[in-house]
Amino acid sequence: AQSVAQPEDQVNVAEGNPLTVKCTYSVSGNPYLFWYVQYPNRGLQFLLKYITGDNLVKGSYGFEAEFNKSQTSFHLKKPSALVSDSALYFCAVRGLSDYKLSFGAGTTVTVRA
């Protein structure tokens, strides 16, 4: 069975500082990894994904994520956070033969001005 862990319920950073949201996964075979963001009272919005190739994946709104196979991690990063990045972030994984996404519990990011 596949699973995702987001060890931090909340992350608080000051505007302009780097932002990191942690994610570790468990899956049989090669992982297919995704990050989504949910703004208040909205649906999930796709940010980026890792399929294969370069371990550093760049996505929307200046976000990037680094795939680390040995640590089974896929942390989301942004070099300089904005107040508008305050939202709920979900990491998700699929295995090779899966069509369902398995989600982590989510991490609430608050960026203070």
Partner 1 sequence: GAGVSQSPSNKVTEKGKDVELRCDPISGHTALYWYRQSLGQGLEFLIYFQGNSAPDKSGLPSDRFSAERTGGSVSTLTIQRTQQEDSAVYLCASSTPGTGPGDTIYFGEGSWLTVV
Determine which residue in the list 34, 35, 63, 89 makes contact with partner 1, applying CB under 8 A.
Answer: 34
Q: Could you say whether residue 104 binds partner 1 (CB under 8 A)?
A: yes
Q: Could you say whether residue 83 binds partner 1 (CB under 8 A)?
A: no
Q: Could you say whether residue 56 binds partner 1 (CB under 8 A)?
A: no
DSSP-assigned letters across all residues of the chain: --EEE---SEEEEETTS-EEE--EEE-SSS-EEEEEEE-TT--EEEEEEE-SS-SEEE-GGG-EEEEETTTTEEEEEESS--GGG-EEEEEEEE-TT--S-EE---EEEEEE-
Interface positions with partner 1 (CB under 8 A): 32, 34, 36, 41-46, 49, 51-52, 90, 94-106
